[in-house]
């Protein structure tokens, strides 16, 4: 199998000398879905932000599609980093759409700016993806005119428009009302069925169990358990994992 992401012993320390990531290592192969679960403050989102270059690591190595982003804490040059960032697409928990842009323009502009596509080609791709997301009738609307679930589907279309090798989801349903969560989970399930490589930080335990190739449970900046989704969720081996799942169930 082709390795899409390889993370080796990454560490992240913030200015107050608090170590958030304490030697994280894992890999994701082409077509796999990796779900990352764990309590707030465990380092899940920070780790995802390091992969997508929104944060820099303090030490360790990250490779994406065989290209080394950072090795032992030393980053590749600016051009190489730019090329690598195009390999992944990040879907934020709070959508991050431009409020003064129409739905169509939100998906068109990144293609023009980043991929240097013509406006015509970008619009064709955007309309195709928005229709696929069930938003064909909304292309002239503005984000404020959409539900949270619709806004998140626009952000997924925007990420897909850049043709990434891997999609990164940072708690994609956490900003949604419970009744809207299902529509986003359905989109991710559809992408998984198409063998889109994905890394999903999520608090949806049943979803993570059902959709994932493997699951990582993080706590305190380390990986506590990782492995088969059904085993991890249904038969946790560590007390920390058992306590996390029981707290989650009680909520």
Q: Which helix (H) or strand (E) holds 173?
A: none
pTM of the model: 0.93
The predicted structure's pLDDT at residue 248: 66
The pLDDT, as a whole number, for residue 93 is: 83
| Model confidence at 251: pLDDT above 50 | no
Tens digit of pLDDT for each residue in 93-134? 888 899 999 999 999 999 999 999 999 999 999 999 999 999
Task: Give yes or no for residue 18 having a pLDDT over 90.
Answer: no
Of 171, 164, 188, nearest to 45 (Cα)? 171
Write the pLDDT tens digit of every residue in 146-189. 999 999 999 999 999 999 999 999 988 887 887 788 888 889 99
Q: Are 192 and 113 in contact (CB under 8 A)?
A: no
Instruction: Determine the average pLDDT of the residues in 191-206.
Output: 92
Q: Which stretches does DSSP call E strand in the chain?
A: 3-13, 19-29, 33-37, 59-64, 67-71, 74-75, 88-91, 166-170, 197-201, 214-219, 222-227
Return all residues near 120 (Cβ < 8 A) that are at least 6 apart: none
Residue-level pLDDT at 246: 87
pLDDT at 16 over 80: no
- pLDDT tens per residue, range 56-75: 999 999 999 999 999 999 99
pLDDT at 32: 95
């Amino acid at each position: 199998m082709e390795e899409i992401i390889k993370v080796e012993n990454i560490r992240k320390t913030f200015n107050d000398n608090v170590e958030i990531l304490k030697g994280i290592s894992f890999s994701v192969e082409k077509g796999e879905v990796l779900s990352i679960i764990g309590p707030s403050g465990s380092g899940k989102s920070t780790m995802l932000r390091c992969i997508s270059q929104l944060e820099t690591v303090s030490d360790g190595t990250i490779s994406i599609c065989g290209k080394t982003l950072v090795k032992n804490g030393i980053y590749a040059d600016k051009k190489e980093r730019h090329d690598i960032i195009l390999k992944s697409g990040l879907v934020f928990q709070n959508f991050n759409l431009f409020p003064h842009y129409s739905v169509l323009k939100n998906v068109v502009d990144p293609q023009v700016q980043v991929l240097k596509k013509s406006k015509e080609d970008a619009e064709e791709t955007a309309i195709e993806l928005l229709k696929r997301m069930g938003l064909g009738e909304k292309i002239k609307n503005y984000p404020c005119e959409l539900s949270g679930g619709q806004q998140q589907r626009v952000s997924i279309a925007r990420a897909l428009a850049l043709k990434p090798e891997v999609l990164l989801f940072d708690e994609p349903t956490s900003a949604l009302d419970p009744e809207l969560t299902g529509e986003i989970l359905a989109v991710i399930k559809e992408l998984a069925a198409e063998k889109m490589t994905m890394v999903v930080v999520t608090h949806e335990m049943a979803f993570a169990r059902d959709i994932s190739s493997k699951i990582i449970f993080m706590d305190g900046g380390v990986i506590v358990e990782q492995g088969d989704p059904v085993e991890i969720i249904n038969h946790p081996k560590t007390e920390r994992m058992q306590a996390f799942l029981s707290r989650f169930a009680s909520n």
